Chains A and B, each alone.
Chain A
């Protein structure tokens, strides 16, 4: 990967560049600190609503078609995503059109019309999006899992909000929120690809028409600790049971976050992981079984998803719990440790093969962590992990009370509660 450079911009924004002259593309991401974690219950979903609205038209490009045409007219891609602690707008274009890409992104984040008619149209779209998730148990169980992992906290709410909150949001709410959070000190621009650094700096300087004062709103309070295991069940006539279970884990600032990621790899990433080999291949209990992590500023989670025959649901949960216990009870074999390290390093390199991957990686680190590790530094941290480290972190993390969300045709949750000691 090319060396990166961090440039301070007027007003407190930052630009992180990585020149990759051998590529044919350039990728840009405008990443704003914020996201759904900053929302109170009444405004739940406003960050996601704004992200949608920014594509509806600007003063220079008054319709969504004109925004899409500008980028797709040169074969590029443009999109955005809202997360719990950030919102990102990105484009990937042929390298010779990098200035166009910048122009469009600057336009949508600083000149969007947020027209009343667009607000109403988009409200209907988002309400349909929320209804769609209700019919997708794989998504719904993930939302329930986050709800039980962070109860009564913004991290536990759906990023898109609720039917009630989205229906209630007014245009004034949206304008006020955008004005408060779309500010220069909250912005990191990531740029990677075949361009001259001076060219990008020149194209950005003085063109970001956003407020320079910090918004002054601290990120929401840390969530309360979880004392006991719990089960949250929704009875649905599904053919499969959909289950997410897991424990609170580390934030993205925690020194052991790399060890946790390696533990996650061993447990449930890919077809050579323990969960896949034991729960699916050996016991034949699940079609999809994998583990995952989520990391936030002051908390995180390690979770397992499984889609199983309802009759085997509790048995499968017991088998997963046994795998978790096994990680605490035994050191990894050398071969498994080496395989997990190579998997992790290989995935990182593949992720950073694209200009898009590099721009996101750089902006994410600068915005949320405040410093950037090179790929070599990350690889060295992974290489330094020992089997004892993995067992130590497993013992630390997996002693926390298990939280579980279940969707399926179940009459009672009692057997599930027995499985996790709730």
Chain B
């Protein structure tokens, strides 16, 4: 099942963290460092090479997090990575 793939699971987890920040309803202790760690977890998987631009989008999301870009922007880039992996948007 494509939805069971580890990379998709990890990207969805990162999206959930970012969305929690974007919606203002997340854990107060959630920091950019934790989001960056979640994205790095995704980058460690070889599976991300299966989709064109997945690594690039994840790298951009990581840079955006480090640069203090708005959470919505980071989320958009992660959604793009998920889509580039061939995963649906609706399972997040």
Q: A residues near B, CB below 8 A?
A: 283-285, 310-315, 318-319, 409-412, 414-415, 418-419
Residue of A nearest to B77 (CB): A415
Tell me whether A311 and B53 are in contact in the complex, defined as CB-CB below 8 angstroms, given that A318-B84, A410-B73, A414-B60 are known contacts: no
Q: Is the CB of B77 within 8 A of A314?
A: yes
Give Cα A313–Cα B83 distance, bound, in whole angstroms: 11
Contacts of B82 in A (CB 8 A): 315
Interface residues of B in 42-92 (CB under 8 A from A): 53, 56-57, 60, 64, 69-70, 72-73, 75-77, 79-80, 82-84, 88-90
Q: Which secondary structure characterizes the binding site on chain A? A: helix
Contacts of A315 in B (CB 8 A): 76, 79-80, 82-83, 89
Residue of B nearest to A282 (CB): B88
Contacts of B84 in A (CB 8 A): 318
**Interface residue count for B (Cβ, 8 Å)?**
21
Tell me whether A314 and B57 are in contact in the complex, defined as CB-CB below 8 angstroms, given that A284-B89, A285-B89 are known contacts: yes
Q: Is the CB of A284 within 8 A of B83?
A: no
Number of A-B contacts (CB under 8 A): 58
Q: Is the CB of B80 within 8 A of A412?
A: no
Give Cα A314–Cα B58 distance, bound, in whole angstroms: 13
Give Cα A314–Cα B76 distance, bound, in whole angstroms: 7
Give Cα A87–Cα B53 distance, bound, in whole angstroms: 45
Please list the 5 inter-chain residue pairs (A to B) with the smallest Cβ-Cβ separation, ordered nearest first: A314-B80, A315-B83, A411-B69, A315-B79, A411-B73
Q: Is the CB of A283 within 8 A of B76?
A: no
Q: Is the CB of B76 within 8 A of A410?
A: yes
Tell me whether A419 and B80 are in contact in the complex, defined as CB-CB below 8 angstroms, given that A311-B72, A411-B70, A411-B73 are known contacts: yes
Contacts of B64 in A (CB 8 A): 411-412
Contacts of A313 in B (CB 8 A): 76
Give Cα A318–Cα B82 distance, bound, in whole angstroms: 11
Smallest CB separation, A362 vs chain B (Å): 46
Contacts of B75 in A (CB 8 A): 311
Q: Please name 7 further chain A to chain B contacts, defined as beta carbons within 8 Å, in addition to the given A411-B64, A419-B53, sorted by A numbering.
A: A310-B72, A315-B76, A315-B80, A318-B80, A409-B70, A410-B73, A418-B56
Residue of A nearest to B75 (CB): A311
Contacts of B22 in A (CB 8 A): 311
Give Cα A313–Cα B72 distance, bound, in whole angstroms: 11
Contacts of A409 in B (CB 8 A): 70, 72
Q: Is the CB of B53 within 8 A of A418?
A: yes
Q: Is the CB of B70 within 8 A of A319?
A: no
Smallest CB separation, B58 vs chain A (Å): 11
Smallest CB separation, B26 vs chain A (Å): 15
Give Cα A418–Cα B84 distance, bound, in whole angstroms: 11
